[in-house]
Amino acid sequence: MTMTLYDTMTRSKREFIPIDSPLVKIYCCGLTVYNYAHIGNLRTYVFEDLLRRTLLFNGYKVHHVQNVTDVGHMTTDADAGDDKMQLAAEREKKSPWEIALFYEQAAISDFKALNIQIPEDMPRATDHVVEMIELIQKLEKKGFTYVTSEGVYFDTSKYPEYGKLARLNLSEQRQGAREEVIADETKKNPSDFVLWFLNKPTHIMKWESPWGPGYPGWHIECSAMSMKYLGESFDIHCGGIDHIPVHHTNEIAQSECATGHTFTNYWLHGEFLLTKIESDHDGGFGKESKSKGEFNTLKSLKDKGFDPLAYRYLCMQAHYRSELKFSTDILEAATTGLRKVYSLKRENDPLAHDNEAFQAAKTRVLDAINDDLALPLAVGYLNSYGSLSLWKEFDPILGLDIAERSNKAKEAIPAEVQSLIDLRNQARKDKDWTASDSLRNQLIEIGYEVGDGPQGTTVKKRTI
């Protein structure tokens, strides 16, 4: 079995070879827990879960780490503005710790509802301040830092490879910065970034440090925690594409300057989920983001009657490196598609009695998935085979609860439901439409889809 993955660093698909097979070490940038996750964030976590599950399906063991950002992520990725945690604490009149715990738990319940497997480690930034300080000291000893009234900075001019992931042109950036105003005038170079914030008296979360009381910059947490849990070099680092130019660029600078060797062997980035911009009358789409105020959460989809697994299924219908334009219409279509999968019948399975054909189909689907997670192609194949057993075979990757939901579709009709059906058939014979409608509603309420066939009322247990 060969897997290829698209590596942002080389801008190419590369065969995946782990450092210490069969173990695969993965680090994914986690949520900043200052609000509910929006469905764009969740798209990225579904993509990372599909990667994890594909590795497991291929026989690898996985050590997956996903941090929880509960301090230091400013309202811009480039250190300016305020700490998002601090703002949320002011907004909700709670402590930043209460905010963090609440939204971390909310995120975990979203992950569970979406069948996202919980990573082996989910370390919180605030529990790793000591490790971050040690890493900054290491960088300081090697001469990569300087201190100003604003904080301890990473000096990007000391690292010639700075910006290699995003292919940044630093001389252009410096030129540009001369024309724009650099937000922080104590910085030596526009691309320098904060490792430790100083002199922020109103910031609630603060720790002692060799440079004075303050709090860590956002990027240092990922370098410190990934290295603590996975070692100085590991296999795969993931995140959304927004992290390429700043966050991941800075993680690489800190980590490689501290250790002297490659931080991560494969960089995988998920494209954005876009939603309609209300004010755009041409029907334009923009990045789903919390700063817009109103944003879609898993709860808001559930409130509209959608099943979380329909959202998961929708995520598989766009390649992780393509934009996904979200609308309730396409979620509706995904729901209908998934309902069809759940109602596939064992008796009509075209591959059930032909092992050779089953194995050939399995290879075709797996080859697609192993080719940089081409889930849309794989799902297309699965739909064209229409084989319940093949869908079930891949459910360890898909995570759609195929066996449970399709059994539900085929459950025998209980006696009390049958008696409601009989009553409704009688009411229709008597042309008592009020009674017929009310019985129909009762059946819907207890979880059935109701239809009218030539023999009278038909029902099916609702699976989604």
Structure tokens at 142: 């090697």
349 contact choice in Zn ion, ligand AMP, none (CB below 5 to 8 Å, kind-dependent): none
Closest separation in Å from C-beta 76 to ligand AMP:
11
Peptide bond just before 210 cis, omega within 30 deg:
no
Closest separation in Å from C-beta 241 to ligand AMP:
7
| Whether 242 contacts 248, CB under 8 Å | no
- Give residues with Cβ within 8 angstroms of 158, minimum separation 6: 143, 144, 257
- Helical axes 39-57 vs 308-316, angle rounded to 10°: 70
Choose which of 9, 29, 107, 409 interacts with Zn ion (CB under 5 A).
29
Task: Determine, following the binding rule CB under 6 A, whether residue 44 of this chain makes contact with ligand AMP.
Answer: yes
Residues within window 229-248 making contact with ligand AMP, judged by CB under 6 A: 239-240, 242-243
Burial letters 220-237, b for 16+ CB under 10 A, else e? bbbbbbbbbbbeebbbbb
Closest separation in Å from C-beta 235 to ligand AMP:
18
Q: Which is nearer to Zn ion, 66 or 370 (CB)?
A: 66
DSSP 238-253: EEEGGGIIIIIHHHHH
What are the φ and ψ backbone dihedral angles of 126, each rounded to 5 degrees?
A: -65, -15
317 contact choice in ligand AMP, Zn ion, none (CB below 5 to 8 Å, kind-dependent): none
Residue among 67, 34, 35 at smallest CA distance from 205: 34
Interface characters, 184-223, with Zn ion (x: CB under 5 A): --------------------------------------x-
β-bridge pairing 285-287 and 151-154: unpaired
321 contact choice in ligand AMP, Zn ion, none (CB below 5 to 8 Å, kind-dependent): none
Choose which of 41, 189, 223, 335 interacts with ligand AMP (CB under 6 A).
41
Task: Determine, following the binding rule CB under 5 A, whether residue 26 of this chain makes contact with Zn ion.
Answer: no
Choose which of 7, 24, 40, 193 interacts with ligand AMP (CB under 6 A).
40
Closest separation in Å from C-beta 349 to Zn ion:
44
222 contact choice in ligand AMP, Zn ion, none (CB below 5 to 8 Å, kind-dependent): Zn ion
Closest separation in Å from C-beta 5 to ligand AMP:
17
Closest separation in Å from C-beta 41 to ligand AMP:
4
- Give residues with Cβ within 8 angstroms of 181, minimum separation 6: none
Closest separation in Å from C-beta 81 to ligand AMP:
13
Interface characters, 220-259, with Zn ion (x: CB under 5 A): --x-------------------------------------
Helix extents (H) in 58-192: 84-92, 96-113, 129-141, 170-179
CA separation for the pair 7, 12 (Å, rounded): 6
DSSP 366-393: HHHHHBT--HHHHHHHHHHHT-HHHHHH
Instruction: Establish how many alpha carbons lie within 13 A of residue 148's alpha carbon, considering only the half-sphere containing its beta carbon.
Output: 14
Helix extents (H) in 151-307: 170-179, 218-230, 249-259, 298-303
Stretch that binds ligand AMP, among 35-43, 357-365, 371-379, 387-395 (CB under 6 A): 35-43
Interface characters, 250-289, with ligand AMP (x: CB under 6 A): --------------------x-xx-------------xxx
72 contact choice in Zn ion, ligand AMP, none (CB below 5 to 8 Å, kind-dependent): none
Instruction: State the residues that interact with ligand AMP by CB under 6 A.
Output: 29, 31-32, 40-41, 43-44, 239-240, 242-243, 270, 272-273, 287-289
Instruction: State the residues that interact with Zn ion by CB under 5 A.
Output: 29, 222
